[in-house]
């Protein structure tokens, strides 16, 4: 039985009683890959996807760990399913050799391939989706050689509407409640309500069960935008679960999502990860500082890192961010499942929910870095200094109190900053982030 943790799995590998444990470690660590949506929207075809796969290799991204090449919305014939087999039909103009043709070429490159559907009757762009056809679609995906399914939340018929509404601050019934409350919700759930019994959870469980019944291991990535309190049931249902509405390549949106996701870090561990949406590194008019703060926060939160920019035109400086070795090694830690946590908010008092100023000071243990990951972030619109005080950092506190210094390395430059006593202060440009490994005491 693959679905739930069995006694054969060492206890140290468990994140919780209900993790979705799959063969060969699939979904144990947060996914690394590329996806069509942020790069191309609906304007996709086999050649763009194969270009991305080839560039993943040419640019050294595969060697850095990126493995999934994922097809998002708009891959099928829009008018409907095959009348006889009831299968979704790949669009032959976009995919002359079908999805299986693309999949086998991607597999030949040593990479894996992902696809997209929705837990409704239509995808968000209006293509046939899988509600009521979970088994048939899971079988098609398995037959085509699919390794990853992103499962969206559009096209939900009224008889599948939840009894209650759950508050997602940036995205409740299309409205934003930036202060983290949902004052206008007319039908909130009673406090004891178990959202794992909601219709939304059932829609996602139906596809989980279909995927578990086919003869192929397919990573399951839920995309219900944080609705139906997915943090209660996401880890038992999929390997990652979206926590917010859609990202766009705008600083204010990226940081709003980071703030929201930062409050869910207790739910992230082996086999199950909150997903603050795919990367916008390389897109829009983000500054270099904003690109690297986005990436460092996503890596520290152990979010799936799914690149969303056209790889054949990516700038060297953006590629360097995506290939940052220490951050990827923290993210892919085989021994420590938990992400970094905020240890201090900085700009705001601790635990403040602020879409423009998320927690600025983060730390997390690592089995691979030879020390603790420490991030210091400047969420303000002008250059500021930030100081990491060793005695404030949970991983360092005990020995810091005895007056130890630590060997510090700058993660962006690789520079050895020597033996640093008590604290480390940096000047940061607006929206920049310092990333350090705080290593051996000295």
Q: What residues are labeled active site?
A: 152, 246
256 binds ligand GAL (CB under 6 A): no
CA dihedral 393→394→397→398, nearest 10 degrees, is: -170
Strand partners, 157: none
Residues 16-55, one symbol each (x = binds ligand GAL by CB under 6 A, - = not), give ---------------------x------------------
Angle (nearest 5°) at CA 192 between 191 and 198: 100
Site stretch for ligand GAL (CB under 6 A), options 118-126, 199-207, 292-300, 356-364: 118-126
Q: Which of 122, 143, 246, 422 binds ligand GAL (CB under 6 A)?
A: 246
Going from the C-alpha of 303 to that of each of 30, 261, 307, the distances in angstroms are 6, 9, 12
Comparing CB distances to ligand GAL, the nearer of 37 and 406 is 37
354 binds ligand GAL (CB under 6 A): no
75 binds ligand GAL (CB under 6 A): no
Q: Residue 7: which residues within 8 A CB-CB, separation 6 or more?
A: none
Residue 57 has which token pair?
Answer: 């290799």
**Interaction with ligand GAL in 190-229: which residues (CB under 6 A)?**
223
Cross-sheet strand order for the sheet of 341-344:
341-344, 361-364, 372-377, 433-441, 405-410, 416-421
Comparing CB distances to ligand GAL, the nearer of 49 and 223 is 223
Comparing CB distances to ligand GAL, the nearer of 162 and 395 is 162
Q: Which of 152, 170, 289, 333 binds ligand GAL (CB under 6 A)?
A: 152
Residues 369-408, one symbol each (x = binds ligand GAL by CB under 6 A, - = not), give ----------------------------------------
Comparing CB distances to ligand GAL, the nearer of 35 and 329 is 35
CA dihedral 205→27→70→52, nearest 10 degrees, is: 180
Burial of 284: CB neighbours in 10 Å, binned 0-12, 13-18, 19+: middle
Find out whether 323 and 295 touch, Cβ atoms under 8 Å: no
Least Å distance, CB 118 to ligand GAL, is 8
322 binds ligand GAL (CB under 6 A): no
Residues that bind ligand GAL (CB under 6 A): 37, 72-73, 123-125, 152, 154, 223, 246
């Amino acid at each position: 039985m693959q679905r739930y943790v069995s006694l054969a799995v060492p206890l140290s590998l468990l994140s919780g009683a209900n993790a979705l444990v799959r063969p060969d470690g699939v979904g144990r660590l947060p996914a690394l890959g590329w996806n069509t949506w942020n790069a191309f929207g609906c304007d996709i075809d086999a050649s763009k996807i194969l270009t991305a796969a080839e560039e993943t290799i040419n640019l050294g991204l595969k060697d850095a760990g990126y493995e999934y090449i994922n097809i998002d919305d708009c891959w099928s014939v829009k008018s409907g399913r095959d009348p006889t087999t009831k299968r979704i039909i790949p669009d032959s103009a976009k995919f002359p050799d079908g999805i299986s043709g693309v999949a086998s070429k991607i597999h030949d490159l040593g990479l894996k391939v992902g696809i997209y559907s929705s837990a409704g009757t239509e995808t968000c762009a209006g293509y046939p989706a899988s509600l009521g056809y979970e088994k048939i679609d899971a079988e098609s995906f398995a037959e085509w050689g699919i390794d990853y399914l992103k499962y969206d939340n559009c096209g939900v018929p009224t008889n599948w509407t939840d009894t209650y509404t759950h508050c997602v601050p940036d995205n409740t019934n299309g409205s934003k409640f930036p202060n983290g409350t949902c004052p206008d919700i007319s039908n909130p759930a009673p406090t004891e309500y178990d959202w794992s019994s909601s219709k939304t959870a059932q829609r996602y469980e139906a596809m989980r069960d279909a995927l578990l019944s086919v003869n192929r291991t397919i990573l399951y990535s839920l995309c219900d935008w944080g609705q139906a309190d997915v943090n209660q049931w996401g880890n038992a249902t999929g390997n990652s679960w979206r926590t917010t509405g859609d990202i766009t390549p705008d600083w204010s949106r990226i940081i709003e999502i980071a703030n929201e996701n930062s409050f869910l870090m207790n739910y992230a561990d082996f086999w199950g990860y909150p997903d603050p949406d795919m990367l916008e590194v390389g897109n829009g008019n983000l500054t270099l500082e904003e690109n690297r703060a986005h990436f460092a926060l996503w890596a520290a939160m152990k979010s799936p890192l799914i690149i969303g920019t056209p790889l054949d035109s990516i700038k060297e400086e953006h590629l360097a961010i995506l290939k940052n070795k220490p951050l990827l090694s923290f993210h892919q830690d085989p021994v420590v499942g938990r992400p970094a946590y905020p240890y201090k908010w900085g700009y705001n008092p601790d635990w403040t929910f602020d879409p423009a100023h998320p927690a600025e000071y983060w730390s997390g243990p690592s089995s691979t870095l030879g020390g603790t990951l420490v991030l210091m972030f400047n969420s303000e619109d002008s250059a500021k200094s930030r100081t990491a005080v060793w005695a404030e950092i949970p991983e360092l506190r005990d020995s810091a109190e005895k007056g130890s210094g630590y060997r510090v390395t700058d993660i962006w430059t690789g520079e050895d900053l020597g033996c640093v006593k008590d604290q480390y202060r940096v000047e940061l440009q607006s929206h920049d982030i310092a990333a350090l490994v705080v290593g051996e005491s000295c």
